[in-house]
């Protein structure tokens, strides 16, 4: 990560009459190194609620717990947007440095996915507390904002990588997928809003817009994945702290499987005319089954690499949040396949992956709170 020196004169300062010394406002100073990667904490929390709400098994109290987690993710999103606003206002030099850093800039896709994940959770579980009308309104606002930011990031970040960043093949990283997968999250969560639109053109337009974003994200991912896999095979092993980012590859795999199953559910409700309604159902299975198979292969490979890194001394870093949202997309993908294939194996796969997801989230959240309390996570990078 690019490290920028602190400005000579601190911003937003006050003078103590008693000591005559200058004190920097603590909150403002703390946001200097608060990068866009922090939105991953919101994504990883919101997916707990979204994936748990549609699990194919009944667990007493699970829906209530998911609603609590969703409310927590909403508060996290509000607090983080406020903190990031302070970052841009008071530390523009650092914000610009983040955009010019090829290892940080792709994380701007996380803002889009955080907005979308919280918005989707509003309709899945949040309506239990805030009502359907408020949930629809909240999701509509966050979906529009998240989709606009996601599409902008999918263009702007690759543009910066071409004209501003200096990248070599050996720097290929799963982090590069983040701005490209953001439109796929819109594709997967957009169908939740379709039933709340007027029947006819409005519903069909949104569904096909989501399908278009599915294609946009999928094709861009297929272009990027070979470079990442080649880097993994021909280059040196990833630095220990970056090893968890291998889990990011699961994001487009699980989210695209989730998306095609959501398309099938929406089309079956009469949104599109025959034979397209049946076509979506067929495509959900023919696409989802092999992609989920590859996702499990990658999960095993990435897991083995993480175990290796842990044995070599890998400590906690914010990259551990890569264990949450990407795994959560595989949970929702398996849930959709279980519904459309009728195979119990996908139901049990969803349950097993959800248990892994909750465990990873609990560990990452605990370590993050500890790092915030002791100040290490907001300190200047070494």
Q: What per-residue confidence (pLDDT) applies to 102?
A: 87
Is residue 192 over pLDDT 60? yes
Mean pLDDT, rounded, of the chain: 89
Residue with tokens 């195979």: 343
Ranges 30-34, 84-88, 108-112, 325-329: which has the least confidence: 30-34
Angle made by CA atoms 114, 195, 66, in degrees to the nearest 5: 45
Q: Are 45 and 361 in contact (CB under 8 A)?
A: yes
pTM equals 0.90
Instruction: Reply yes or no on whether the pLDDT at 10 is more than 80.
Output: no
The mean pLDDT value for 288-314 works out to 96
Which of 58-62, 121-125, 303-307 comes out lowest in average pLDDT? Answer: 58-62
List the domain boundaries for the chain: 28-362
Mean pLDDT of the 132-145 span:
96
| Under 8 Å between Cβ of 167 and 161 | yes
Q: Please give the Cα distance from 327 to 365 (Å, whole number).
A: 15
Q: Report the pLDDT averaged over residues 277-305.
A: 95
Q: How far is CA 199 from CA 169, 217, 266, in A?
A: 49, 27, 12
pLDDT digits (tens, 9 = 90+) for 193-217: 999 999 889 999 999 999 999 999 9
**Is the pLDDT reported for residue 20 higher than 80?**
no
pLDDT at residue 25, as a whole number: 67
Which structure tokens are listed for 73? 């993710």
pLDDT given for residue 256 in this prediction = 97
Instruction: Report the pLDDT value the prediction gives residue 382, as an integer from 0 to 100.
Output: 66
Rounded average pLDDT over 27-36:
83
CA distance 223 to 218: 9
Task: Give the chain as a 3 state SS string.
Answer: CCCCCCCCCCCCEEECCCCCCEEECHHHHHCCCCCHHHHHHHHHHHHHHHHHHCCCCCCCCHHHHHHHHHHHHHHHHHHHHHHHHHHHHHCHHHHHHHHCCCCCHHHHHHHHHHHHHHHHHHHHHHHHHHCHHHHHHHHHHHHHHHHHHHHHHHHHHHHHHHHCCCCCHHHCCHHHHHHHHHHHHHHHHHHHCHHHCCCCHHHHHHHHHHHHHHHHHHHHHHHHHHHHHHHHHHCCCCCHHHHHHHHHHHHHHHHHHHHHHHHHHHHHHHHCCCCHHHHHHHHHHHHHHHHHHHHHHHHHHHHHHHHHHHHCCCCCCHHHHHHCHHHHHHHHHHHHHHHHHCCHHHHHHHHHHHHHHHHHHHHHHHHHHHHHHHCCCCCCCC
| CA distance from start to end of the chain | 9
pLDDT over 50 at 69, yes or no: yes
Q: Is residue 335 scored above 50 in pLDDT?
A: yes
Q: What is the pLDDT of residue 260?
A: 97
pLDDT at residue 8, rounded to an integer = 35
Which band of pLDDT confidence, cut at 50, 70 and 90, is reported for residue 140? very high
What average pLDDT score do residues 304-311 get?
Answer: 95
Do 290 and 231 meet the contact criterion of CB atoms below 8 Å apart? no
Q: Taking residues 241-249, what's their average pLDDT?
A: 95
Q: Take residue 381 and report the two structure tokens written for it.
A: 């990078």
Higher pLDDT, 295 or 58: 295
Q: Dihedral angle at the C-alpha atoms of 222, 227, 231, 234, nearest 10 degrees?
A: 100
Residue range 165-190: mean pLDDT, rounded: 91
Give the model's pLDDT for residue 225.
Answer: 93
pLDDT for residue 143 is more than 70: yes
Does the structure show a pLDDT above 50 at 168?
yes
Average pLDDT over residues 310-337: 95
What the block records as the tokens of 364 is 């990452």
Is the per-residue pLDDT at 21 higher than 60? no
Q: Cβ–Cβ contacts within 10 Å for residue 164, how many?
A: 13
pLDDT above 50: residue 251? yes
Q: Which residue from 247, 102, 266, 243 is spatially nearest to 179, judged by alpha carbons?
A: 102
28-362 is classed in which CATH architecture?
Alpha/alpha barrel (1.50)
Higher pLDDT, 224 or 24: 224
Of these ranges, 94-108, 272-286, 353-367, the one predicted with the greatest mean pLDDT is 353-367
Q: Give, in degrees to the nearest 5, the angle at Cα 153 between 151 and 159.
A: 115
Separation CA 313–CA 263 (nearest Å): 43
Distance CA 269, CA 206 (A): 14
């Amino acid at each position: 990560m690019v490290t920028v020196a602190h400005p000579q004169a601190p911003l937003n300062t006050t003078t103590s009459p008693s000591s005559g010394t200058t004190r920097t406002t603590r909150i403002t100073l703390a946001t200097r190194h608060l990068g866009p990667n922090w939105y991953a904490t919101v994504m990883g929390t919101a997916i707990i609620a979204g994936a748990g709400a549609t699990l194919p098994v009944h667990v007493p109290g699970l829906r209530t717990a998911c609603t609590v987690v969703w409310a927590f993710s909403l508060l996290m999103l509000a607090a983080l947007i406020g903190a990031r606003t302070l970052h841009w206002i008071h530390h523009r030099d650092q914000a610009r440095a983040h955009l010019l850093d090829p290892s940080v800039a792709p994380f701007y896709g996380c803002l889009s996915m955080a907005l979308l994940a919280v918005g989707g959770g509003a309709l899945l579980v949040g309506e239990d507390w805030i009502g359907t009308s408020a949930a629809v309104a909240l999701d509509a606002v966050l979906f529009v904002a998240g989709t606009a930011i996601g599409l902008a990031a999918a263009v702007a970040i690759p543009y910066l990588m071409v004209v501003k960043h200096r990248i070599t093949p050996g720097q290929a990283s799963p982090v590069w997928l983040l701005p490209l997968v953001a439109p796929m999250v819109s594709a997967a969560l957009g169908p939740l809003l379709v039933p709340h639109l007027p029947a006819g053109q409005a519903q069909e337009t949104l569904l096909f817009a989501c399908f278009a974003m599915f294609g946009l994200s999928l094709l861009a991912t297929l272009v990027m994945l070979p470079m990442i896999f080649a880097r993994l095979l021909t280059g040196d092993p990833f630095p220990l702290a970056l090893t968890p980012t291998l889990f990011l590859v699961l994001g487009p795999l699980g989210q695209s499987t989730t998306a095609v199953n959501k398309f099938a559910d929406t089309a079956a409700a009469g949104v599109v005319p025959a034979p397209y309604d049946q076509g979506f159902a067929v495509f959900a299975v023919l696409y989802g089954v092999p992609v989920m198979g590859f996702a499990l292969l990658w999960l095993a490979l990435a897991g083995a690499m993480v175990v290796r890194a842990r044995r070599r001394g890998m400590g906690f870093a914010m990259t551990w949040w890569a264990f949450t949202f990407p795994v959560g997309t595989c949970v929702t993908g398996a849930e959709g396949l279980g519904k459309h294939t009728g195979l119990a194996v996908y139901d049990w796969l969803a349950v097993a992956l959800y248990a892994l997801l909750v465990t990873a989230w609990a560990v990452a959240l605990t370590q993050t709170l500890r790092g915030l309390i002791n100040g290490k996570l907001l300190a200047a990078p070494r």
